[in-house]
Homo-oligomer: A and B are copies of this chain.
Amino acid sequence: MRARVRASFARQAMMTTLGAELVSVDRGRVELGINHDARFTQQHGFMHAGAVAGVLDSACGYAAFSVMPAEAAVLTVGYSINLLAPAAGERFVMTGAVVRAGRTLVVCRGEAFADGATVPFAVMQATLTALYNRPGIEH
């Protein structure tokens, strides 16, 4: 399972471009890390919500993927994100955890932390779907 997650993550060019890395992978729980990067800021100099949401989405996606059958591909159906404070800091950790896995839909929760804080500055509720045998959509 970890090998599948790592191989798929390595193919997400967006994560490479953002400099995101896989910190840990467990069944139903994934942690990603990212450093502040001036290329991905918004107009006040904080990390743009799009970068935060993108990494949180990937954390949730791989948490879901980690509980799916080996032949499944994962796609995000949608998510809701709340930005509780600006993404101010040098180092960010984003966690994704499975809340409940159904037949095809998996619901996950994501949390984003800055510089070792224990209270998240952003939270996500995401719905992922397992796909099978769709041409062009492998793991």
A interface residue count range (under 10 / 10 to 19 / 20 to 34 / 35 or more): 35 or more
Does chain B have a CB within 8 A of A116?
no
Interface string of A7-49 (1 = CB under 8 A from B): 0110111111110000000000000000000111111110011
This chain: copies in complex: 4
Which residue of chain B has the shortest Cβ distance to A55 in the bound complex? Answer: B50
Q: Which residues does A use to contact B, with CB under 8 Å?
A: 8-9, 11-18, 38-45, 48-51, 53-55, 57-58, 73, 75-86, 99-100, 102, 104-105, 107, 109, 119-121, 123-125, 127, 129, 136-139
CB pairs A–B below 8 angstroms (22 shown):
A12-B41, A12-B48, A14-B39, A15-B48, A16-B39, A48-B58, A49-B53, A49-B57, A53-B53, A75-B83, A76-B83, A77-B77, A78-B81, A80-B80, A80-B81, A82-B107, A84-B100, A84-B107, A100-B121, A100-B123, A109-B123, A124-B125
